Structure 1
């Protein structure tokens, strides 16, 4: 084996400038920690919301529980978050194809959708306040504020990550990975929101007692 071949083997195997299959493996190893970290974070957040929903269901059987009507702004919020999630998916797919101009436009729209979601949620709170539904008093109203506030905080956290993704320049692996992680997180936020909306809008004490077999 000559000196050039020996150098190439050493470079590829021990952290030099990888190429070909070694380069692909190097990129996958670089993606793994960030991807795994996001999966772990989403698992923790899912557990947190599961605990809140469990408390919500248990509290519904109290005599002071009075169901509230959801303001129409929550449907606007749902549309905005759905549009943001779709835009993030478009950004992720475009980035994987190397179409970074389209990816960044879609990423920008996804962030605007999420910002609009937060604004529409504040509008929903104002609408409830106008109907005299306050955070204290009726536990149904208290849980609405609590659950939507917790979700809104996670959307704001996602917007911080979105800002980092928007700041990435070029078409390298880092920029593509950030867009893919943003898309995954936005899909997660939409799924959590749908579950919360179903619980807040359609779950009743009678339905809970029927499901639990205590009716």
Structure 2
């Protein structure tokens, strides 16, 4: 008696994988799920706005014969250099060094603050070049993209301040310090922050490349 083996169809495979995907989502901590969903939704928003910027810039260039203002170049250098500090942050946490964790968090916050400052300076330089928010669509998209990106970075900076406060509480109480070092929840928060920060960095690098090509 022979038995015939049939290969599952594509639809059947999708039905089988769907419950496992739900289980994986349910196993995530709410913070993890929130950060992942935020990155996916934000990525989609940035994608649509970036495509709209490129299309409008092709039809009507932002500024002919001009270059992207130098403050944007400085802010790009700052956010790329922050990779060193985020790696140091994880290293300090893994080696139970709350003082270095706090110092590194302050450094990351300072880098973010300087990034925002140079972005504002870049806006001023753009207006001096004649790129106004209400002038042409491509110029409007440029301001919208940089503004939304800045809001994402400010959100990360607020989280940095919350972590600094938590580390200060730990350093003032040895018992809390022991819990802090042994708590996987703290490790998860720091690594989620680093992941989100890298997401913000990658988004900016893509936008920066588009702006350089458009100007």
Quickly name the TM-score band, shorter chain normalised. Answer: 0.7 to 0.9
Query: Structure 1: which 5+ runs fail to align?
Result: 1-28, 205-215
**Larger CA deviation: 46-55 vs 139-148:** 139-148
| Contact 1:83/1:110 (8 A) holds in 2 | no
Equivalent in the alignment of 1:191: 202
Query: Structure 2: which 5+ runs fail to align?
Result: 1-25, 171-176
Aligned length: 175
| Contact 1:107/1:179 (8 A) holds in 2 | no
CA distance in structure 2 between the partners assigned to 1:114 and 1:30 by the alignment: 32
Q: 1:113-170 CA distances to partner (integer Å, 9 max, x unpaired)?
A: 0011000000111111222221111333222211111101111111111111111132
CA distance in structure 2 between the partners assigned to 1:30 and 1:167 by the alignment: 29
CA distance in structure 1 between the partners assigned to 2:96 and 2:29 by the alignment: 21
CA distance in structure 2 between the partners assigned to 1:157 and 1:146 by the alignment: 17
Q: How does 1:24-39 map to 2 (within 5 A)?
A: 32-39=29-36
Q: Which has the higher contact order (CA 8 A, sep 6+)?
A: 2
| Contact 1:87/1:106 (8 A) holds in 2 | yes
Equivalent in the alignment of 1:79: 77
CA offset at residue 30 of structure 1? 9.6
| Contact 1:88/1:179 (8 A) holds in 2 | no
CA RMSD, aligned part only?
2.2
Counterpart among 51, 54, 59 of residue 54 in structure 1: 51
| Contact 1:84/1:186 (8 A) holds in 2 | no
CA offset at residue 89 of structure 1? 2.3
Q: How does 1:45-124 map to 2 (within 5 A)?
A: 45-62=42-59, 64-67=60-63, 69-124=67-122
TM-score (norm 1): 0.73
Go from structure 1 to structure 2 and tell me whether the alpha carbon gap of 1:87 and 1:148 turns closer, same or farther (over 3 Å shift). same
